[in-house]
Structure 1
Amino acid sequence: MRIAIIGSGYVGLVSGACLADFGHEVTCIDKVHSKIDALRAGRMPIFEPGLEHLVERNVAAGQLTFSTELAKPASEADVVFIAVGTPSRRGDGHADLSYVYGAAREIAGALCGFTVVAIKSTVPVGTGDEVDRIIRSVNPAADFAVVSNPEFLREGAAIDDFKRPDRIVVGLAGDERARDAMAEVYRPLYLNKPPLIFTGRRTSELIKYAANAFLALKITFINEIADLCENVGANVQDVARGIGLDNRIGPKFLHAGPGYGGSCFPKDTSALVRTAQDSNAPLRLVETAVAVNDQRKRTIVRKVVSACGGNVRGKTIAILGLTFKPNTDDMREAPSLSIIQALIDLGAQVRAFDPEGMTQARTLLDSSVSYAEGPYECAEGAEALVIVTEWNQFRALDFGRLRRAMSSAVMVDLRNIYKREEILKHGFRYVNVGEGAAADLFTFAEAAE
């Protein structure tokens, strides 16, 4: 099939490269000339494991091309995907759909023959109806169908998620030709047998938001349980394992930490809350999760300050991990942003290291932040070391080397990647998330044995 993808950001580029790898002829389109020039030269605008090789292979095979012009690829395509950004709109939390509607207007003028317009961008309920209306108003003679086809890609594992999806959701508005076309797009996945779910278009739009909101609820829930554990002497990791073994609950997204961030959960929960309020069906649980997650960052900062004796003024704090999760360079809504800014406001000197996120971080963080070449350089002379993002290279640190480098042996592990007894025997003061005083005594006893 011939496929055009409008938007060559995270979703568009990953989707385009994977669809090309299926054997489709794909053109990824973006208005940013520098991005297209870089892609043509083999330089990726994002870090995603395996993406560079996948793009290189399919460009060489002639299956994947890049363009700044929409008209020709869209006119020749069987399916045109809209994969542009839908950031939170300033002031009210609604999704900003200006890029989606702009793409619809441009697509309308290029359509030639029956074409499926598939919305991959995360959009509120009813957006497909408006895209349909826009295309018909611009080009009344166009033969097309608008479908919803939300993405469910995890940054850091996006290629595997696309090629081995849990499910593929397609929302239709009655045209069986669109159903057949979308089935053909994903036919190469037949051997993997992912559920191909056809629903109404509005239902499909809501599935994406409901999925992200539910995962955000799980994260928020376990973070609140972590606070309770600290106050009653329990261990949140054991609690999470104990409840996660229940198949009705499951273990995923039950990892206590500094709160959710990234390109999806913050904006999608906010947009869903606004949609629900406008529809006179408020989602109180989601509203609370949003508020709790915002408060979470302040709670975490207090934990760091307390670990430093109640005062960080003039002290050097080493931050390991800046991106909102490992295996990405995405800094959008990363907890590190709020944590670092709060520490600076309290008078701390911050030095940071991240394997992939420092380029973006320099444009987002206070200019007083210094950056290191590695974790041990980051720790040099620091009063405390704070693990914010659980990159694999932080999971096997040389504690002797860290101890010699730091001026004070304090580790604040916001991702619980280490065992307390392992850190204590190297002379560190260890502060993690969701482990209370009674649990501390139990662990000390175990370590002594």
Structure 2
Amino acid sequence: MRISVIGTGYVGTVSAACFAQLGHEVICVDIDKSKIDMINAGIPPIYEEGLAELLEKHAGKKLSGTSDYRYAVMNSDVSFICVGTPSGPSGNIELGIVKAASASLGDALKDKKDYHVIVVKSTVVPETTEKVVLPIIEKYSKKRSGDFGIAMNPEFLREGKAIYDFMHPDKIVIGSLDKKAGDLVASLYSGLDCEITRTNPRTAEMIKYVNNAFLATKISFSNEIGNICKQLDINTYEVMKAVGKDFRIGPHFLNSGAGFGGSCFPKDVKALIGKAKSIGYEPLILESVIKVNEKQPGRMVLLLKKELGDLKCKKIAVLGLAFKNDTDDIRESRAIPVINELLDNGAEVSAYDPMANENMSRIFGNIKYNSSAADALKEADACLVMTEWDEFKKLNKEFDMMENKLIIDGRHMLTPRKDTKYVGLCW
């Protein structure tokens, strides 16, 4: 099948590369010419494990890039909208990029005689595909739904494991207004061993939000339990290990820590809250999920102050800047509010992340970035662990370089040493 993918960000580039791997011909579309040049050269515009290998394998063969919407539509059978949906000031998603992409697709579609399917893969709140995207495409294409197909196909990709997740999905959800469009989208995944859930677009949109909101709820629930356990001198990891054995609950996402970040959980929960309020419903549980998550990083600094007192002129090593391991993504990283608070208290921040130093330097230009954990720890008065990088588990003699051996672990990463003051965030 011939596919065009609108947007070469995280979801778009991964989807394009994986569809090419499944044997489809894929055209990437982006108004940013520098990204298109990278795609055509087989260079990923983002970091994701395994992505570079797929682009190098398929660029110039089954995968190409262009900024020309008309060329892409005329030379494909289905177009995926994979553009960003950032949060607005109130937490509701901004649909400006989705609307612009829909208008460009509609304009390109008006001269096409063959049947074409438009698929929304961007994360959008329920009713967006039917009440926003579809009317725009109809307006600019001068066609009606049925002359072309419309569908919603959410992604369930973990950053750092996105290639694996695409090729080994636990679910594929396709929401369409008509069977013909849904059948065509389903056929694109025929090489994968996974049951396909068929529904309507607004239900598919809701499945994506509920999926992420529930995972975020498990994290905030676990963090709240962890905070209580710490006050009672109970090991929350012991508690959750036993609780997770209940088949109705499961062990995943029960790890207490500094909270969740990234491009999905915070944005999606806030967007679902916004959608609920727009229809007159007060989502109390979801609002609590966000409140717990926003307070959790501050607890790191509270524990630090409890141990050190005044933080002015104290050198604090921050290990981990990405929102999670195996990515350079710092969006909603829990390290950001922690660093902000450290700086507000007059501390000197010495930071290290295996991949995210450069990205974080765009936010904080006034802290020291190091090329290794050892360099960050040198003469530090304390260390805060913010990200679950495997290399942090192996740290040992590096802590001997600290001026004061105090470690506050926000991710349950380290094994306490006898000569080191070790404080767990929730344990």
Residue 414 of structure 2 is matched in structure 1 by 418
Moved more, 331-340 or 293-302: 293-302
Residue 137 of structure 2 is matched in structure 1 by 135
Q: Which string of whole-angstrom CA distances, capped at 9 and with x for unpartnered residues, describes residues 143-193 of structure 1?
A: 2121110000000100000000010000111x221122012111111xx2x
Q: Distance in 1 between matches of 2:11 and 2:398?
A: 40
Return the match for 2:399 from 394, 397, 402. 402
* 1:42, distance to aligned residue in structure 2 (A): 3.3
Residue 350 of structure 1 is matched in structure 2 by 349
* 1:353, distance to aligned residue in structure 2 (A): 0.7
* 1:97, distance to aligned residue in structure 2 (A): 0.6
Segments of 5+ residues of structure 1 without an aligned counterpart are 436-449
* 1:301, distance to aligned residue in structure 2 (A): 1.8
Residue 123 of structure 2 is matched in structure 1 by 122
Q: Which string of whole-angstrom CA distances, capped at 9 and with x for unpartnered residues, describes residues 27-81 of structure 1?
A: 1111111222223333322111111011111115x01111122111112211100
Q: Which string of whole-angstrom CA distances, capped at 9 and with x for unpartnered residues, describes residues 1-42 of structure 1?
A: 000000000000000000000000001111111222223333
Whether contact under 8 Å (2:3, 2:79) holds in the other structure is yes
Residue 106 of structure 2 is matched in structure 1 by 108
Residue 378 of structure 2 is matched in structure 1 by 380
Whether contact under 8 Å (1:153, 1:162) holds in the other structure is yes
User: For 1:54, what is the secondary structure of its paired residue?
Assistant: helix
Q: Distance in 2 between matches of 1:325 and 1:74?
A: 36
1:186 to 2:185 alignment: no
1:167 to 2:171 alignment: yes
**What is the TM-score when the length of structure 2 is the normalising length?**
0.96
Q: Which string of whole-angstrom CA distances, capped at 9 and with x for unpartnered residues, describes residues 299-344 of structure 1?
A: 222122223x222111111111100000001010100011011001
Residue 325 of structure 1 is matched in structure 2 by 324
Whether contact under 8 Å (1:257, 1:415) holds in the other structure is yes
Q: How many residues align?
A: 421
* 1:247, distance to aligned residue in structure 2 (A): 1.1
Whether contact under 8 Å (1:234, 1:434) holds in the other structure is no
Residue 442 of structure 1 is matched in structure 2 by none
Amino acid in structure 1 at the alignment position of 2:138: R
Runs of 4 or more, structure 1, over 4 Å off, are none
* 1:417, distance to aligned residue in structure 2 (A): 1.4
Amino acid in structure 2 at the alignment position of 1:286: L
Q: Distance in 1 between matches of 2:75 and 2:183?
A: 18
* 1:433, distance to aligned residue in structure 2 (A): 2.3
User: For 1:364, what is the secondary structure of its paired residue?
Assistant: coil
Whether contact under 8 Å (1:167, 1:197) holds in the other structure is yes
Amino acid in structure 1 at the alignment position of 2:321: L
User: For 1:332, what is the secondary structure of its paired residue?
Assistant: coil
Whether contact under 8 Å (1:323, 1:389) holds in the other structure is yes
Amino acid in structure 2 at the alignment position of 1:3: I
Amino acid in structure 2 at the alignment position of 1:393: E
Residue 431 of structure 1 is matched in structure 2 by 423
Q: Which string of whole-angstrom CA distances, capped at 9 and with x for unpartnered residues, describes residues 240-259 of structure 1?
A: 11111111111111111111
Whether contact under 8 Å (2:81, 2:121) holds in the other structure is yes
Amino acid in structure 2 at the alignment position of 1:432: G
Q: Distance in 1 between matches of 2:58 and 2:41?
A: 13
Q: How does 1:209-224 map to 2 (within 5 A)?
A: 209-224=209-224
* 1:218, distance to aligned residue in structure 2 (A): 0.4
User: For 1:187, what is the secondary structure of its paired residue?
Assistant: coil
Amino acid in structure 2 at the alignment position of 1:227: N
Amino acid in structure 1 at the alignment position of 2:143: A
Residue 314 of structure 2 is matched in structure 1 by 315
Whether contact under 8 Å (1:42, 1:56) holds in the other structure is yes
Whether contact under 8 Å (1:47, 1:327) holds in the other structure is no
Whether contact under 8 Å (1:86, 1:123) holds in the other structure is yes
Q: Distance in 2 between matches of 1:110 and 1:70?
A: 6
Whether contact under 8 Å (2:373, 2:398) holds in the other structure is no
Amino acid in structure 2 at the alignment position of 1:400: K
1:147 to 2:163 alignment: no
User: For 1:197, what is the secondary structure of its paired residue?
Assistant: strand
**What is the TM-score when the length of structure 1 is the normalising length?**
0.92
User: For 1:209, what is the secondary structure of its paired residue?
Assistant: helix
Q: Distance in 1 between matches of 2:83 and 2:187?
A: 23
Whether contact under 8 Å (2:42, 2:58) holds in the other structure is no
Amino acid in structure 2 at the alignment position of 1:23: G
* 1:418, distance to aligned residue in structure 2 (A): 2.2
Residue 66 of structure 1 is matched in structure 2 by 65
Residue 239 of structure 1 is matched in structure 2 by 239
Segments of 5+ residues of structure 2 without an aligned counterpart are none
User: For 1:188, what is the secondary structure of its paired residue?
Assistant: coil
Q: Distance in 1 between matches of 2:102 and 2:318?
A: 43
Whether contact under 8 Å (2:174, 2:186) holds in the other structure is no
Amino acid in structure 1 at the alignment position of 2:272: L
Residue 250 of structure 2 is matched in structure 1 by 250
Q: Distance in 2 between matches of 1:402 and 1:238?
A: 27
Q: Distance in 1 between matches of 2:29 and 2:306?
A: 50
Residue 88 of structure 1 is matched in structure 2 by 87
Moved more, 144-153 or 36-45: 36-45
Amino acid in structure 2 at the alignment position of 1:279: I
1:267 to 2:267 alignment: yes
Q: Distance in 2 between matches of 1:258 and 1:161?
A: 25
Q: Cα RMSD between the aligned structures?
A: 1.2
Residue 363 of structure 2 is matched in structure 1 by 364
